Copies of this chain bind each other. A is one copy, B any other.
Amino acid sequence: MADIRSLHDAVRDLVHDGDTVALEGFTHLIPFAAAHEIIRQGVTGLTLARMTPDVVHDQLIGAGAARKLVFSWGGNPGVGSLHRFRDAVENGWPHPLELDEHSHAGMANRYVAGASKLPFAVLRGYRGSGIPGRTDTVATVTCPFTGEQLAAVAALNPDVTVVHAQQADRHGNVQFWGLTGVQKEAVLAAGRVLVTVEEIVEGALEPRPGSVVLPGWVIDAVALVPGGAHPSYAAGYSVRDNDFYQRWDAVSRDRDTFLRWLDENVWNVRNVREGS
């Protein structure tokens, strides 16, 4: 059964310098609070994996936590560029950022292979694209029945996966619903799993339409962090703070403005919502 812990303690014990860390969430249920705790604890040298690194990864990269990014689309959805990401890639600030770049279909299947404990997955993808020339995690495989050549992508098995969910019960069983993205696969592919949740319910989880339920025995720690996805959202608990995403463009464009934001909103904040 998963332990129910404070976010501070869970991050301290589960996320180590140099780890490959997947913080997943397809626009919905993005684990912002956990990412801020990772920054606060000064974890460095991370390989960050996510299909759609957006503002939370801009923050992690700008704060210097990352050495490498494994991804398929890095932008501020509907707004524009990720300026901290670009500054790291283009100018090496605050560190150079290595990239392992894929398409969405490729990244999704890398997690599927990881969750299935297979070394690779097969897809009809990357055809004619320059992407395979920039990564060593795309190759070709031949169908033994038809002779057709298909793309193979290497399994992605993060050291740690962090996701945010709506609910857990006292045994650490977790339920999330709405857009569930690739989170189940990212969790089952990982060596260690941390889930932040909006709510810990008494008694059994009430089944929801469209929900994913993960038993506590595949999770290492659950931390109660209401609002832990903000400015992303948790369906049924909050709505997406689109204004924040739009304001981020100005905050992140300038290094000093960003560093001030980081001081005020991450470094100097003890997350008072954390607890168990």
List A residues at the B interface (Cβ < 8 Å).
116-124, 137, 139-141, 143-146, 148, 150, 152, 154, 207-211
Task: Among B145, B148, B150, B209, point to the contact of A211 (Cβ < 8 A).
Answer: B209
CB distance from A102 to the nearest CB of B (A): 14
Asked if residues B124 and A122 are in contact (CB atoms below 8 Å), the reply is no
Q: Most chain-B CB neighbours within 10 Å: which of A119, A137, A152, A211?
A: A119
How far in angstroms is the closest Cβ of chain B from A188? 15
A20 to chain B, nearest CB (A): 16
Q: Which of A118, A141, A143, A145 gathers most chain B CB within 10 Å?
A: A145
From the candidates B119, B143, B145, B210, name the one contacting A143 in the complex (CB within 8 A).
Answer: B119
Residues of B near A211 (CB, < 8 A) are 209
Q: Which B-chain residue is minimally distant from A140 (CB atoms)?
A: B144
Q: Do A145 and B123 form a contact, CB below 8 Å, given A208-B209, A209-B209, A209-B211?
A: no
Q: Verify B150–A145 contact, CB threshold 8 A.
A: no
A146: chain B residues within 8 A (beta carbon): 119-120
Are B148 and A144 closer than 8 Å at their CB atoms?
Answer: no
Q: Report the Cα distance A150→B122, complex, angstroms.
A: 13
Q: Given A144-B140, A145-B139, A208-B209, verify A123-B119 contact (CB < 8 Å).
A: no
Q: Are A117 and B122 in contact (CB under 8 A)?
A: no
Cross-chain contact of A118 among B117, B122, B140, B207 (Cβ < 8 A): B122
Docked Cα-Cα span, A134 to B116, in Å, equals: 26
Contact A120 B145 (CB under 8 A): yes
* CB contact between A122 and one of B121, B148, B208 (< 8 Å): that residue: B121
Asked whether A144 lies within 8 Å of B120 as measured between CB atoms, the reply is yes
CB distance from A148 to the nearest CB of B (A): 5
Chain B residue at smallest Cβ distance from A136 = B145
Option from B124, B137, B210 in Cβ contact (under 8 Å) with A145: B137
Is there contact, CB below 8 Å, between B120 and A143? yes
Contacts of A154 in B (CB 8 A): 145
Given A207-B209, A209-B208, A209-B211, A119:B137 Cβ within 8 A: no
Scoring A124, A143, A146, A150 by chain B CB atoms within 10 A of each residue's CB, the highest score goes to A143
Chain B residues in 8 Å Cβ range of A117: 124
Q: Please give me the residue from chain B that is nearest to A148 by CB atom.
A: B119
Q: Which residues of the other chain, B, contact A119 by a CB distance below 8 angstroms? A: 143, 145-146, 148, 150
* Contacting residues, chain B, for A143 (C-beta < 8 A): 119-120, 152
Q: Which residues of B contact A150 (CB under 8 A)?
A: 118-119
